[in-house]
Structure 1
Amino acid sequence: MVTIFHWDTPQDLEDEYGGFLSDRIIKDYTEYANFTFQEYGHKVKHWITFNEPWVFSRAGYDIGKKAPGRCSKYIKEHGELCHAGRSGFETYIVSHNLLLAHADAVEAFRSCEKCKGGKIGIAHSPAWFEPHELSQEEHEEHEKHEEHESPAAHLIDFILGWHLNPTTHGDYPQSMKDHVGHRLPKFTEAQKQKLKNSADFVGINYYTSLFALHDEEHDPLKPSWQSDSLIDWEPRYVDRFSAFNSKPDFARVEVYANGLRSLLKYIKDKYNNPEIIITENGYGEDLGEHDTSLVVALSDEHRKYYIQKHLLSLNQAICEDKINVTGYFLWSLMDNFEWQDGYNARFGLYYVDYKNNLTRHEKKSAQWYSNFLLTGPSESELEHDEL
Structure 2
Amino acid sequence: MAKKKHVLKEDEEDGSNSKQVSRPDFPPDFVFGVATSSYQIEGGCKEGGRGASIWDVFAHTEGKIIDGSNADVAVDHYHRYKEDIDLISELGFRAYRFSISWPRIFPDGLGTKANEEGIAFYNKVIDALLEKGIKPYVTLHHWDLPLHLHDSMGGWLNKQIVEYFAIYADTCFAHFGDRVETWTTINEPLHIAVGGYDTGTSAPGRSENSSAETYLAAHHMILAHAAAVSVYHSKYKDKQGGQIGIVLDCEWAEANSDKLEDKCAAVRRVEFQLGWFLHPLYFGDYPKSMRERLRDQLPEFTEEDQELLSSSMDFVGLNQYTSRLVSHAAESAEEGHFHKAQQIEKIVEWEDGDMIGEKAASDWLYVVPWGMRKVLNYIADTYSNLPIYITENGMDDEENDTAPLHEMLDDKLRVRFYKGYLAAVAQAIKDGVDVRGFFAWSLLDNFEWSHGYTKRFGLVYVDYKNGLTRHPKSSAIWFKQFLKGEGSNKDNEE
TM-score range normalised by the length of the shorter chain: 0.7 to 0.9
Instruction: Note closer, same or farther for the CA distance 1:150–1:300 as it changes in structure 2 (3 Å cut).
Output: farther
Instruction: Note closer, same or farther for the CA distance 1:15–1:331 as it changes in structure 2 (3 Å cut).
Output: same
Q: After superposition, where does 1:128-143 map in structure 2 within 5 Å?
A: 128-133=252-257
Whole-Å Cα distance in 1 between the matches of residues 472 and 358 of structure 2? 25
- Residue 385 of structure 2 aligns with an amino acid whose one-letter code is N
- Residue 227 of structure 1 aligns with an amino acid whose one-letter code is K
Does 2:204 match 1:68? yes
Q: Is the 8 A contact 1:129 1:150 kept in 2?
A: no
Q: Is the 8 A contact 1:275 1:324 kept in 2?
A: yes
Whole-Å Cα distance in 2 between the matches of residues 343 and 287 of structure 1? 7
| Residue 165 (structure 1) aligns with | 279
| Residue 247 (structure 1) aligns with | 359
Does 2:484 match 1:371? no
Instruction: Note closer, same or farther for the CA distance 1:330–1:150 as it changes in structure 2 (3 Å cut).
Output: farther
Q: Is the 8 A contact 2:362 2:455 kept in 1?
A: no
Pairwise CA distance, 1:280: 0.3
| Residue 489 (structure 2) aligns with | 381
Instruction: Note closer, same or farther for the CA distance 1:197–1:150 as it changes in structure 2 (3 Å cut).
Output: farther
Pairwise CA distance, 1:11: 0.7
Whole-Å Cα distance in 2 between the matches of residues 171 and 249 of structure 1? 37
- Range that drifts further, 222-231 or 26-35: 222-231
| Residue 230 (structure 2) aligns with | 107
Pairwise CA distance, 1:250: 7.9
Q: Quick one: percent identity of the two aligned structures?
A: 41
Instruction: Note closer, same or farther for the CA distance 1:381–1:224 as it changes in structure 2 (3 Å cut).
Output: closer
Q: After superposition, where does 1:5-20 map in structure 2 within 5 Å?
A: 5-20=141-156
Q: Is the 8 A contact 1:169 1:197 kept in 2?
A: no
| Residue 229 (structure 1) aligns with | 342
Whole-Å Cα distance in 2 between the matches of residues 109 and 25 of structure 1? 17
Pairwise CA distance, 1:168: 1.2
Q: Deviations over 1:208-234 (max 9, x none)?
A: 001213121379xx9811122122324
Pairwise CA distance, 1:126: 0.4
| Residue 142 (structure 1) aligns with | none
SS at match of 2:359: coil
Does 2:453 match 1:339? no
Whole-Å Cα distance in 1 between the matches of residues 365 and 323 of structure 2? 9
| Residue 187 (structure 2) aligns with | 51
Pairwise CA distance, 1:70: 0.9
| Residue 369 (structure 2) aligns with | 257
TM-score in terms of structure 2 length:
0.67
| Residue 41 (structure 1) aligns with | 177
Pairwise CA distance, 1:151: 6.4
| Residue 279 (structure 1) aligns with | 391
Match of 1:184 among 275, 294, 298: 298
Q: After superposition, where does 1:74-223 map in structure 2 within 5 Å?
A: 85-113=208-236, 116-133=240-257, 152-217=266-331
Q: Is the 8 A contact 2:360 2:396 kept in 1?
A: no
- Residue 444 of structure 2 aligns with an amino acid whose one-letter code is M
- Residue 108 of structure 1 aligns with an amino acid whose one-letter code is V
Pairwise CA distance, 1:240: 5.3
Q: After superposition, where does 1:279-318 map in structure 2 within 5 Å?
A: 279-288=391-400, 290=402, 292-318=403-429
SS at match of 2:440: coil
SS at match of 2:166: helix
- Residue 163 of structure 1 aligns with an amino acid whose one-letter code is F
Whole-Å Cα distance in 1 between the matches of residues 468 and 274 of structure 2? 36
| Residue 134 (structure 2) aligns with | none
| Residue 79 (structure 1) aligns with | none
| Residue 145 (structure 1) aligns with | none
Pairwise CA distance, 1:154: 1.0
Q: Which has the higher contact order (CA 8 A, sep 6+)?
A: 2
SS at match of 2:330: coil
Whole-Å Cα distance in 2 between the matches of residues 7 and 330 of structure 1? 19
Whole-Å Cα distance in 1 between the matches of residues 378 and 157 of structure 2? 32
- Residue 230 of structure 1 aligns with an amino acid whose one-letter code is Q
Q: Is the 8 A contact 1:100 1:195 kept in 2?
A: yes
SS at match of 2:190: helix
Pairwise CA distance, 1:205: 0.3
SS at match of 2:444: coil
**For structure 2, which runs of at least 5 residues remain unmatched after alignment?**
1-136
Q: Deviations over 1:145-166 (max 9, x none)?
A: xxxx886111111111000111
- Residue 388 of structure 2 aligns with an amino acid whose one-letter code is I
Whole-Å Cα distance in 2 between the matches of residues 167 and 249 of structure 1? 34
- Residue 128 of structure 1 aligns with an amino acid whose one-letter code is W
Whole-Å Cα distance in 1 between the matches of residues 156 and 325 of structure 2? 32
Q: Deviations over 1:89-148 (max 9, x none)?
A: 1010001111111111111111223753111111101000122349xxxxxxxxxxxxxx
- Residue 489 of structure 2 aligns with an amino acid whose one-letter code is E
TM-score in terms of structure 1 length:
0.85
Whole-Å Cα distance in 2 between the matches of residues 250 and 171 of structure 1? 34
Instruction: Note closer, same or farther for the CA distance 1:68–1:251 as it changes in structure 2 (3 Å cut).
Output: closer
- Count residues in correspondence: 350
Q: Is the 8 A contact 1:130 1:150 kept in 2?
A: no
Instruction: Note closer, same or farther for the CA distance 1:248–1:92 as it changes in structure 2 (3 Å cut).
Output: closer
- Residue 410 of structure 2 aligns with an amino acid whose one-letter code is S
| Residue 58 (structure 2) aligns with | none
Q: Is the 8 A contact 1:150 1:266 kept in 2?
A: no
Instruction: Note closer, same or farther for the CA distance 1:262–1:250 as it changes in structure 2 (3 Å cut).
Output: closer
Instruction: Note closer, same or farther for the CA distance 1:314–1:151 as it changes in structure 2 (3 Å cut).
Output: farther
| Residue 76 (structure 1) aligns with | none
Whole-Å Cα distance in 2 between the matches of residues 92 and 260 of structure 1? 27
Q: Is the 8 A contact 1:170 1:194 kept in 2?
A: no
Instruction: Note closer, same or farther for the CA distance 1:223–1:257 as it changes in structure 2 (3 Å cut).
Output: closer
**For structure 1, which runs of at least 5 residues remain unmatched after alignment?**
72-84, 135-148
SS at match of 1:381: coil
Instruction: Note closer, same or farther for the CA distance 1:338–1:128 as it changes in structure 2 (3 Å cut).
Output: same
